[in-house]
Amino acid sequence: MKKLRIGMIGAGGIAQARHLPAFQKLNDLVEIHAICDVNLDRAKEVASTYQIPVVSNDYLDIFSEVDAVCICTPNKFHAEIAIAALESGLHVFCEKPMALTAKECEAMINASKKQEKVLAIAYHYRFKREAQAAKKSMSEVGTPLVVRVRALRQRKVPSWGVFTNKELQGGGSLIDWGCHFLDLALWLIGNPTETDVTGSIYNKLSKMPNQVNEWGAFNHETFEVDDHVSAFIKFENGTSMLFETSWAANIKKDEEHLSISGVEGGLNVFPFELYTTKDGMLLNSVPPWLPGEEQPDIPQARNFIEACLGRSELVLKPEEALQVSRIIDKIYENGGSLS
Ligand SMILES: NC(=O)c1ccc[n+]([C@@H]2O[C@H](COP(=O)([O-])OP(=O)(O)OC[C@H]3O[C@@H](n4cnc5c(N)ncnc54)[C@H](O)[C@@H]3O)[C@@H](O)[C@H]2O)c1
Q: Whose CA is nearest to atom 5 of ligand 1?
A: 14
Give the pLDDT score at 295. 81
In this prediction the pTM is 0.97
Compute, in angstroms, the gap from residue 163 CA to the centroid of ligand 1. Answer: 9
- For residue 15, how far is its CA from the centre of ligand 1 (angstroms)? 7
> Is 48 buried (19+), middle (13-18) or exposed (0-12) by CB count in 10 A?
exposed
Nearest to 83 by CA among 40, 43, 127, 114: 114
336 Rama sector, left if φ>0, alpha if ψ -120 to 50, beta otherwise: left
Residue 55: helix, strand or coil by DSSP?
strand
Q: Considering only CA atoms, which of 161, 132, 136, 185 is closest in space to residue 38?
A: 161
For residue 10, the CA-to-ligand 1 centroid distance in Å is 6
Pocket test for ligand 1, best of 9, 46, 62, 72 (most atoms within 8 A of CB): 72
Alpha carbon 205 to its chain centroid, in Å, reads 25
Q: Give the chain's domains with CATH numbers.
A: 4-123+297-316 (3.40.50.720), 126-294+323-334 (3.30.360.10)
Write phi, then psi, for 152 (nearest 5 degrees).
-120, 130
Please return the burial class of 307, using the count of CB atoms within 10 Å of its CB with bins 0-12, 13-18 and 19+.
Answer: buried
Q: What distance in angstroms lies between residue 112's CA and the mean position of ligand 1's atoms?
A: 22
Q: Which atom of ligand 1 is nearest to the CA of 15?
A: 16
At residue 98, φ and ψ (nearest 5 deg) are -55, -45
Calpha distance 55→258 (Å, rounded): 41
Q: Is residue 162 exposed (0-12), middle (13-18) or buried (19+ Cβ within 10 Å)?
A: middle
DSSP sequence for 285-311: E-PPPPSS--SSHHHHHHHHHHHHTTS
Listed residue (285, 283, 239, 284) closest to 260, CA to CA: 239
pLDDT tens across 53-85, in order? 999 999 999 999 999 999 999 999 999 999 999
Ligand 1 centre from 322 Cα, in Å?
20
CA–CA distances in Å: residue 95 to residues 65, 285, 296: 21, 34, 14
For the chain, residues with pLDDT lower than 50 are none
How many helices and strands (H and E) does the chain possess? 13, 14
Q: How many whole angstroms separate alpha carbon 220 and alpha carbon 47?
A: 35
Lining residues, ligand 1, CB within 6 Å: 9-15, 36-39, 42, 59, 72-75, 77, 95-96, 122, 124, 161, 176
DSSP state of 154: S
Q: How far apart are the first and last CA of the chain?
A: 56
> 138 CA to middle of ligand 1, Å?
34
